[in-house]
Structure 1
């Protein structure tokens, strides 16, 4: 890896990224060891970050955690809607390429929340309009994101059978949802690299979706395409490749890389 042109800035960002990945505040010595930094440099950078509010020092615990200024950065991220701005042209490109409707969604608890929908010409209206929430385990977008979550996080979202919402439009002969069934479905998603659903959101329609991941490997969003059940294998293959490529592109863009 090339040497950074601004090493101090690189070190500061490394500290903030490291703290963001921890389950709680961390000792300065542990931060220095994890990042390969001299302890004196680590303490100096933490002092500056503390002065600016990006880090808080917990003297009784001798640890450092993220401060209010770091939270304000995340709030600014939400206000500027970069996912929507960066994702919309990619979804529009999918629609132009495939002639099928596409959308971008994020995970919100056990639901997916749709941020972008691009309707293809002469295609049926979808329930996945902007601002709509649907049960994540029933949608291709949701399954794609759930498949990326750590097992403990997934279990926390679905502690019992009551956590699984059903839709009246789903297949009448479908097995009831359980945590074991969900794990099986998500294992297939991880093997395939994409998620699918067939008539579980809207009868007669199917979707494929792929997860957009952040720099920590967590699901930031998902991109999906919806088409008629029974569509040609050629279309399904094209849609699968297209959403995979679009999700990978958006993953790079939100991480600030090409």
Structure 2
């Protein structure tokens, strides 16, 4: 290996520092705040933000004159989240959760406006599900997607769902507009758990809880799905899923 010191490309270094700062913020930031905090000329910050916006890594919020992370940054974060750590740590947790509640469980991560299932544990004598590992489903229709969307800043949700065409449909149920989604996510935050009832597959229900990293960003969600025929103790299942999500978050940190 070479002993030569690494060469720093100023523009690349400044871009990465901006993205790092934005990823750690609780919401969109003004360019002037970024410039002052990172000691980068404001004109340079605007140029870099414009380039990042063209490539989808940031989004401009004109009402507040601020900048937030865009869908490309979200894809990048989701790509990292789909790697081995979450799957490796989540697999034994799901096995234990399924044994405890007797229902099928899964872990999903965000990928743009979709969720991607990375771990699944099927319960014995339970209906087949569409949530095989690697399957993508619209986030706004799934409990796992709603759990993660509810943990995002409002500006991020708006960037993901800019118009009505972003709202895919499967069973004729679920939000059809950003205003409807916002109401649903507000209810999810108040409840502390996300749910869906027949919006992915008719006759099936799910609950999910987000798994947050040390900054509060939702890197995954833990969920369980069951048939809505018969009697089930939803409160007991919700507690178990919440505990599993908290344990996975702790282990990831």
Is TM more than 0.5 here?
yes
* Unaligned segments of structure 1, at least 5 residues: 1-14, 33-56, 66-73
Runs of 4+ in 1 over 6 A off after TM superposition: 15-18
Q: In structure 2, do the counterparts of structure 1 residues 247 and 78 end up closer, same or farther at CA, with 3 Å as the change threshold?
A: closer
Paired residues in the alignment total 201
Question: What displacement does 1:76 show?
Answer: 11
Q: Name the CA distance, whole Å, in 2 between partners of 1:231 and 1:100.
A: 13
Match of 1:137 among 124, 140, 163: 140
Pair 1:226 & 2:201 matched = no
Q: Name the CA distance, whole Å, in 2 between partners of 1:99 and 1:179.
A: 35
Q: Which residues of 2 match residues 103-122 of structure 1 at below 5 A?
A: 103-122=106-125
Matched-pair contact (CA < 8 Å) for 2:195–2:208: yes
Question: What displacement does 1:30 show?
Answer: 3.6
Match of 2:166 in 1: 163
Match of 2:194 in 1: 195
Pair 1:243 & 2:220 matched = no
Match of 2:207 in 1: 208
Q: Name the CA distance, whole Å, in 2 between partners of 1:97 and 1:75.
A: 29
Q: Name the CA distance, whole Å, in 1 between partners of 2:84 and 2:182.
A: 31
Match of 1:93 in 2: 96
Match of 1:81 among 79, 84, 88: 84
Q: Equivalent residue of 2:216, what SS?
A: coil
Q: Name the CA distance, whole Å, in 2 between partners of 1:76 and 1:159.
A: 22
Structure number with greater Rg is 1
Q: Name the CA distance, whole Å, in 1 between partners of 2:107 and 2:195.
A: 15
Q: In structure 2, do the counterparts of structure 1 residues 210 and 80 end up closer, same or farther at CA, with 3 Å as the change threshold?
A: closer
Describe the superposition over 1:21-40 as per-residue Cα deviations: whole angstroms up to 9, x where unpaired.
Answer: 2668956x8469xxxxxxxx
Describe the superposition over 1:43-101 as per-residue Cα deviations: whole angstroms up to 9, x where unpaired.
Answer: xxxxxxxxxxxxxx99x959xx9xxxxxxxx8996685101011111111110101100
Q: In structure 2, do the counterparts of structure 1 residues 77 and 112 end up closer, same or farther at CA, with 3 Å as the change threshold?
A: closer
Using structure 1 for the length normalisation, give the TM-score: 0.69
Q: Name the CA distance, whole Å, in 2 between partners of 1:96 and 1:193.
A: 23
* Unaligned segments of structure 2, at least 5 residues: 1-16, 49-76
Q: Name the CA distance, whole Å, in 2 between partners of 1:104 and 1:26.
A: 35
Describe the superposition over 1:89-123 as per-residue Cα deviations: whole angstroms up to 9, x where unpaired.
Answer: 11111101011000000011100000001100111
Which moves more between the two structures, 197-206 or 128-137? Answer: 197-206
Matched-pair contact (CA < 8 Å) for 1:18–1:31: no
Q: Which residues of 2 match residues 17-96 of structure 1 at below 5 A?
A: 19=21, 21=24, 30=37, 81-96=84-99
Matched-pair contact (CA < 8 Å) for 2:140–2:174: no
Match of 2:56 in 1: none
Describe the superposition over 1:110-164 as per-residue Cα deviations: whole angstroms up to 9, x where unpaired.
Answer: 0000000110011111100000000001101011001001000000000111100
Match of 1:150 among 137, 149, 153: 153
